[in-house]
Amino acid sequence: MHRRFTPLAAIAAVAALALSACTAGTESAAPLTGRQASQKAAQPQTVELWHGFSADSEVKAFEDAVAAFKTKFPHITVKLTKGVQDDQIIQAIRGGNPPDIASSFTTDNVAQFCKTGMFQDLMPSIQADKVDLNVLPAVVRSYTEYEGKRCVMPLLADAYGLYLNTKLMDGNPAPKTLTELADLAKKLTKRKPNGDIEVAGFLPSVQYYENTPSHLGPMVGGKWYNADGTSAIGSDPAWKQLLKWQKELVDWFGHDKIEKFRKGLGQEWSDDNPFHKGKVAMALDGEWRNAMIKNSGIDLDYTTAPLPVADDKPGLYGSGFVAGTIIGIPKGAKHPEAAWQLIRYLTTETDGLVTLSNALRNVPTTSAALQSPQLAKDANFQTFLDIFSHPKTNTLPAHINSVFNQDTFTTFIQKWEQGKVKDLDAGLAEVDKAINDKLKLAGG
Domain extent listing, the chain: 8-158+322-389, 161-316
User: Nearest Cα to 326, choosing from 147, 161, 148, 111?
Assistant: 111
Mean pLDDT, to the nearest integer, of 33-58? 78
Is 426 exposed, middle or buried (CB count within 10 Å of its CB: 0-12, 13-18, 19+)?
exposed
User: Nearest Cα to 432, choosing from 240, 243, 237, 231?
Assistant: 231
Asked whether the domain spanning 161-316 has the same topology as the one spanning 8-158+322-389, the reply is yes
pLDDT tens digits, 83-127 = 999 999 999 999 999 999 999 988 999 999 999 999 999 999 999
Kindly list the distances between the CA atom of residue 298 and the CA atoms of 266, 276, 402, in Å, as whole numbers in the listed order: 15, 8, 37
Say whether domain 161-316 belongs to CATH 3.90.1170.40.
no
What CA–CA distance (Å, rounded) separates 117 from 95? Answer: 15
Residue 283 has pLDDT above 70, yes or no: yes
SS3 of 90, please? helix
Q: Which residues of 251-279 are buried (b: 16+ CB within 10 A; e: fewer)?
A: eebeeebbeebbeebeebeeeebbbbeeb
Full-model pTM: 0.90
pLDDT band at 295 (very low <50, low <70, confident <90, very high): confident
Domain boundaries 8-158+322-389, CATH class: alpha beta
The predicted pLDDT at position 343 comes to: 97
Identity (one letter) of the amino acid at 322?
A: V
pLDDT band at 163 (very low <50, low <70, confident <90, very high): very high
Residue 161 has pLDDT above 70, yes or no: yes
The predicted pLDDT at position 12 comes to: 44
Mean pLDDT, to the nearest integer, of 335-349? 96
SS3 of 408, please? helix
